[in-house]
Amino acid sequence: MALKLKITQIKSGIGRPEKHVKVMRGLGLVRLHRSVVLKDTPAIRGMIRKIQHLVHVEPEQ
């Protein structure tokens, strides 16, 4: 069973660089305080690292 991550958007993308907004959309984050559950892969980790100041990440059980 692959480890999954629960990613919650805690800050808005308004006024952020276009790259940050695109990464948030790529992760499936569209609104504040909404969460998505994704597989823990190096690609996802890299995307999270780019916007770590806008999201909260925790392991999913």
What is the per-residue pLDDT for 14? 96
What is the per-residue pLDDT for 61? 79
Q: What is the pTM of this model?
A: 0.91
Q: With a cut of 50, which residues of the chain have pLDDT below it?
A: none
Residue 16 lies in domain: 4-60
Structural domain tally of the chain? 1
Buried b (16+ CB within 10 A) or exposed e, 14-24: eeeeeeebebb
Domain harbouring 16, CATH code: 3.30.1390.20
